[in-house]
Amino acid sequence: MTIEWRYTVEQDLGVLSVAGHLGREAVHRFSGAVGWVAARGTGPVVVDLTGLRSWSAEGQLAITDAARRLAEAGRGLELAAIPADGSLVPANEGPDIPVHPDLAAALAAHTGDGPGGDGPGGEGQREWRTDGWPA
């Protein structure tokens, strides 16, 4: 079982949406997606886990590794809609990873829009995705 991903970028904010199961078999694909993200856009990256069914300890470690990689590139990583208990393994190691209850809250934190605000989108938005990502 693997993951599908979609990356959208507008101005200085990127959103990497991940769907499926982020386990041992999907870590390499997730790492590749993070490399794609690091090469495109600037500013923080929100990893939207709304479509993630589950993650393993290896998947969680891939998230913390992604935060380190992006920090080395001068970019932050934030999470939206994490599954299960809301904790990462290992906790408190590496860069700080802000966690938002959902994607709307994460976007509002960057745009100043509250519920119902426009948030990122519209003109200037670019998107890349895996072939299996729903259209």
Tabulate helix, strand, coil % of the chain (nearest 5): 30, 30, 40
* CA triple 105-102-85, angle to 5 deg: 130
- In order of their start, the domains of the chain are 3-119 (3.30.750.24)
DSSP 8-class letter at 92? T
Q: What is the pLDDT of residue 2?
A: 81
pLDDT digits (tens, 9 = 90+) for 50-103: 999 999 999 999 999 999 999 999 999 999 998 876 667 666 678 889 999 999
User: Measured in whole angstroms, how far is the alpha carbon of residue 111 from the centre of its chain?
Assistant: 17
Task: Answer whether 15's CB lies under 8 Å from 120's CB.
Answer: yes
Q: What is the mean pLDDT of residues 101-113?
A: 87
